[in-house]
């Protein structure tokens, strides 16, 4: 199986073709109508053919088509999409998952998602809540989705229970509106030079539609053990809190206020002008009330031993409560009720930087940012298989080095300099040769903070931040240029075409600009994790299919790709990681964006029985993979491969 032409010869100009299909499905409404819920079925399918579609050219069909068939009776729709250059839909991932149930090969399907279209046009100005088909129409002054059917569906009435003629009229209206929106977006994105970004975002959509079918597998015994451990720790903290604070009801605002500000004697937090930061004024409390929310409590300044002891105990208590309620208890429910398979949905239109976000489905656990210590609770679902993780090594630093054309960053990357060792050296005022391992580990959190506008902290941190700005002056000067551009134009046009907006950016008399961290951060984070990693992920998914591998992708986390794979495909996984995270990225950026990336890209891989196994045994290149795999199957080791892959400037 070869790669599709839209990857071997990527060309956003394909979207100027009028050979397209516009599609909308009406489905039963379990799990919001998701095709991943086997209880759901198709109720109605409506599609229109673009004026350049072969069936229209041959006079074989009218523009609008409709079918009340289930997924097994939509051969005409599937063939129409195969004959088109691309398919158009609003929130296209939803339709693609249904099309896969209809028998369409998503690996051969190019899509235009009109929800993503307005997201790209908006930059960082609006998110999912403002990107419905109705909202997109309202912004253009068009009539949106109004009428009784729309109200019924929003009220939870299943489309299967709505009179057919009403539903048909409603669905035809949606398809016509989606086509009008697509044509308007195509013109505007073309004028703004944003078609390449739309192309990249939409290449990712079928990949995510497929990945969402997999979910990730928890190990029930490990979850049970960890849950019991943390529940016991939490119970002890509860007892300590009760001993320390007495019988105070923490759900009672007046009781907490009295305890914090009278008994413990904390000073209220102050805002500009020294005024206390309080709740909104009301008739009963015209001056507002002292705040007692968690963030406020954690921000209070402790001056006495009792205050310090309370803050430490409160922070530990809240941390354990958060871990239990947000993760471990839900993981336990998942193991009891769904055999430990956690399903999640990837959101392409939620963040201001355009990187993906993630929403848990049934158990509301998102898979992108679980605490590192809980990642080893995930394993492969097949006996003897492994969890493989490939990531872009120090990707955001490399992107910043490229955007800043920073010669020092380039030299450090090419020489393989240990930048975390450098950070620890500056923070602790010792030579790099004298840095201890724990100092290096602790320094990681500070290494790249200056990329995001970080300037304030402890004296040691501020010393390091100043060093970073001076040492990597190319990056610093570029970021200053971004700030100046935003102050003048209220927006920033990036090298690859993306536009970000700060309409209210204004420098204070003291030289403070509250938008500065986001101005410094967005271009770096966006190019790295909303463009480069998605490009790599798209190629990785397609190359797995091309090589007819048994491995499959189960997750993606900002700068990484997570798979499940058999031990005999570990070497293939290494090769694909290098190919997709490095070699495929350069020509794509050059061809699609006109960007010749000037800094070496890097990649690293891990293959373990569990996700990011912490007590891992390092793989040495001379060892035999199959011998190691046998040990894994026998449970002797938890980890069989970890190595830094190639740094490459190949174009």
- Quickly list DSSP for 396-409: HHHHHHHHTT-HHH
Q: Which two tokens stand for residue 380?
A: 């492969």
**pLDDT band at residue 59 using 50, 70 and 90 as cut-offs:** confident
- pLDDT mean over 110-128: 93
What is the model's pLDDT at position 620?
Answer: 27
Task: For the domain covering 217-342, report its CATH number.
Answer: 1.20.1060.10
∠ at Cα 349 (119, 24), nearest 5°? 85
Residue 190: pLDDT over 70: yes
**pLDDT band at residue 198 using 50, 70 and 90 as cut-offs:** very high
Burial call 616-639: b when 16+ CB within 10 Å, e when fewer:
bbebeeeeebeebbeebeeeebbb
DSSP 592-619: II-----S-B-EEEEEESBTT-TTPPPP
CA separation, residue 452 to residues 126, 357, 374, 469, 485 (Å): 21, 19, 27, 12, 17
Those residues with Cβ within 8 angstroms of residue 547's Cβ, 6 or more apart along the chain or in another chain: 572, 576
Q: What is the pLDDT of residues 293-333, one digit of tens each?
A: 999 999 999 999 999 999 999 999 999 999 999 999 999 99
CA dist., res. 463 & res. 337, Å (int):
52
**pLDDT band at residue 634 using 50, 70 and 90 as cut-offs:** very low
CA–chain centroid gap for 13, Å, is 27
Those residues with Cβ within 8 angstroms of residue 52's Cβ, 6 or more apart along the chain or in another chain: 17, 18, 19, 20
Q: Are 561 and 393 in contact (CB under 8 A)?
A: no
What is the model's pLDDT at position 14?
Answer: 98
Helix (H) or strand (E) holding 226: helix 220-245
What is the model's pLDDT at position 647?
Answer: 54
The residue extents of the domains of the chain are 5-213, 217-342, 372-395+527-644, 396-520
Those residues with Cβ within 8 angstroms of residue 324's Cβ, 6 or more apart along the chain or in another chain: 227, 230, 231, 234
What's the full length of the chain, in residues? 651
**pLDDT band at residue 418 using 50, 70 and 90 as cut-offs:** confident
Least confident of 151-160, 289-298, 482-491, 621-630: 621-630
What is the model's pLDDT at position 304?
Answer: 95
Residue 261: pLDDT over 60: yes
Residue 532: pLDDT over 60: yes
In terms of Cβ atoms closer than 10 Å to its own Cβ (0-12, 13-18, 19+), residue 253 is: middle
Residue 183: pLDDT over 70: yes
What is the model's pLDDT at position 543?
Answer: 97
CA dist., res. 472 & res. 543, Å (int):
37
449 vs 533 pLDDT, higher one: 533
- β pairing state of 216-218 and 341-342: antiparallel
Q: Does domain 372-395+527-644 have CATH number 3.30.70.370?
A: yes
- High-pLDDT (> 90) share of the chain, %: 76
What is the model's pLDDT at position 366?
Answer: 87
DSSP 413-468: HHTT--HHHHHHHHHHTS-GGG--HHHHHHHHHHHTGGGGT---SSHHHHHHHHHH
Side by side, the strands of the sheet bearing 560-565 are 552-557, 560-565, 386-392, 603-608, 639-644
CB atoms within 10 A of CB 96: 25
Q: Write down the pTM of the prediction.
A: 0.90
Q: Are 650 and 586 in contact (CB under 8 A)?
A: yes
**In which residue are the tokens 């597998």 written?**
217
What is the model's pLDDT at position 37?
Answer: 95
**In which residue are the tokens 């403002």 written?**
130
Report the CATH fold assignment for 5-213.
Nucleotidyltransferase; domain 5 (3.30.420)
Q: Which two tokens stand for residue 73?
A: 């009776």
CA atoms within 13 A on the CB side of 503: 5
**Which segments within 315-356 are labelled E, that is strand?**
341-342, 344-347
Q: What is the pLDDT of residues 350-390, one digit of tens each?
A: 999 999 999 999 999 989 888 888 999 999 999 999 999 99
Residue 621: pLDDT over 70: no
| Sequence-ordered alpha helix ranges (H) in 9-108 | 54-57, 75-83, 92-101
∠ at Cα 371 (379, 351), nearest 5°? 105
What is the model's pLDDT at position 145?
Answer: 63
Closest CA to 317 of 206, 408, 243: 243
Residue 650: pLDDT over 70: no
- pLDDT mean over 556-577: 95
∠ at Cα 420 (416, 423), nearest 5°? 120
Residue 248: pLDDT over 50: yes
Those residues with Cβ within 8 angstroms of residue 364's Cβ, 6 or more apart along the chain or in another chain: 330
Residue 502: pLDDT over 80: yes
CA separation, residue 65 to residues 112, 150, 615 (Å): 19, 21, 58
What is the model's pLDDT at position 449?
Answer: 84
Mean of pLDDT over the chain: 90
What is the model's pLDDT at position 283?
Answer: 87
CA dist., res. 484 & res. 479, Å (int):
9
Plot region of 580 (φ>0 → left; ψ -120 to 50 → alpha; else → beta): alpha
CA separation, residue 523 to residues 123, 213, 584, 592 (Å): 11, 31, 21, 18
Task: For the domain covering 396-520, report its CATH number.
Answer: 1.10.150
CA dist., res. 263 & res. 570, Å (int):
61
Helix (H) or strand (E) holding 26: strand 20-27
Q: What is the pLDDT of residues 428-486, one digit of tens each?
A: 999 988 988 888 888 888 888 888 877 778 888 889 999 999 999 999 999 999 999 99
What is the model's pLDDT at position 371?
Answer: 86
**pLDDT band at residue 74 using 50, 70 and 90 as cut-offs:** very high
Strand partners, 113: 89
**pLDDT band at residue 612 using 50, 70 and 90 as cut-offs:** confident
422-427 contacts at long range (C-beta below 8 A, 24 or more positions apart): 423/447, 423/464, 426/463, 426/464, 426/467, 427/460, 427/461, 427/463, 427/464
Helix axes 516-526, 395-403, angle to 10 degrees: 110
CA dist., res. 161 & res. 172, Å (int):
18
């Amino acid at each position: 199986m070869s790669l599709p032409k839209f990857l071997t010869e990527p060309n956003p100009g394909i979207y100027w073709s009028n050979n397209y299909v516009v599609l909308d499905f009406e489905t039963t409404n379990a799990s919001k109508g998701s095709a991943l819920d086997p209880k759901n079925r198709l109720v109605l399918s409506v599609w229109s053919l673009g004026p350049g579609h072969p069936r229209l050219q041959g006079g074989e069909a009218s523009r609008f088509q409709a079918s009340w068939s289930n997924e097994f009776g939509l051969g005409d729709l599937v063939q129409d999409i195969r004959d088109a250059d691309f398919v158009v839909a609003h929130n296209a991932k939803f339709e693609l998952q249904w099309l896969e149930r209809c028998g369409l090969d998503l690996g051969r399907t190019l899509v235009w998602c009109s929800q993503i279209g307005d997201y790209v046009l908006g930059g960082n100005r609006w998110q999912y809540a403002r990107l419905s088909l109705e909202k997109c129409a309202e912004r253009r002054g068009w009539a949106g989705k109004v009428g009784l059917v729309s109200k019924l569906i929003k009220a939870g009435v299943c489309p299967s229970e709505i009179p057919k003629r009403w539903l048909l009229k409603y669905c035809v209206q949606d398809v016509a509106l989606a086509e009008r929106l697509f044509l308007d977006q195509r013109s505007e994105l073309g004028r703004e030079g944003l078609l390449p970004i739309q192309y990249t975002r939409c290449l990712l959509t079928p990949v995510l539609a497929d990945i969402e079918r997999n979910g990730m597998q928890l190990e029930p015994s490990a979850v049970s053990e960890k849950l019991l451990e943390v529940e016991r720790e939490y119970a002890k903290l509860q007892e300590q809190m009760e001993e320390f604070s007495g019988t105070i009801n923490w759900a009672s605002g007046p009781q907490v206020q009295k305890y914090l500000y009278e008994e413990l004697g904390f000073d209220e937090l102050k805002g500009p002008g020294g005024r206390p930061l309080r709740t909104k004024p009301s008739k009963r409390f015209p001056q507002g009330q002292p705040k007692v929310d968690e963030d406020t409590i954690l921000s209070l300044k402790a001056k006495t031993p009792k205050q310090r002891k309370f803050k430490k105990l409160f922070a530990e208590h809240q941390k354990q409560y958060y871990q239990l309620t947000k993760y471990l208890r839900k993981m336990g429910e998942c193991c009891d009720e769904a055999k430990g398979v956690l399903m999640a949905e990837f959101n392409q239109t939620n963040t201001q930087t355009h990187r993906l976000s993630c929403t848990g489905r049934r158990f509301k656990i998102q898979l992108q940012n679980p605490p590192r210590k809980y990642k080893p609770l995930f394993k492969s679902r097949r006996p003897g298989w492994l969890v493989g993780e490939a990531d872009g090594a120090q990707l955001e630093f490399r992107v910043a080095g490229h955007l800043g054309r920073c010669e020092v960053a380039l030299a450090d990357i090419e020489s393989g300099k240990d930048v975390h060792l450098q950070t620890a050296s500056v923070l602790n005022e010792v030579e790099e040769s004298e840095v201890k391992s724990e100092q290096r580990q602790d320094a990681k959190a500070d290494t790249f903070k200056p990329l995001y506008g970080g300037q304030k902290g402890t004296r040691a941190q501020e010393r390091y931040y100043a060093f970073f700005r001076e040492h990597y002056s190319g990056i610093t000067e570029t970021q200053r240029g971004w700030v100046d551009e935003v102050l003048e134009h209220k927006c920033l046009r990036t090298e690859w075409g993306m536009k970000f907006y700060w309409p209210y950016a204004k420098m204070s008399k003291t030289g403070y600009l509250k938008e500065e961290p986001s101005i410094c951060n967005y271009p770096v984070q966006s190019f790295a994790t909303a463009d480069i990693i998605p490009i790599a992920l798209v190629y990785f998914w397609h190359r797995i299919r091309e090589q007819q591998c048994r491995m499959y992708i189960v997750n993606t986390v900002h700068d990484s790709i997570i798979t499940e794979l058999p031990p005999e495909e570990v070497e293939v996984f290494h090769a694909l990681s290098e190919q997709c995270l490095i070699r495929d990225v350069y020509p794509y950026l050059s061809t699609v964006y006109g960007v010749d990336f000037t800094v070496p890209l890097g990649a690293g891989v891990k293959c373990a029985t569990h996700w990011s196994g912490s007590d891992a045994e390092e793989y040495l290149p001379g060892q035999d993979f199959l011998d190691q795999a046998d040990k894994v199957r026998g449970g002797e080791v938890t980890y069989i491969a970890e190595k830094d892959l190639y740094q490459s400037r190949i174009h």
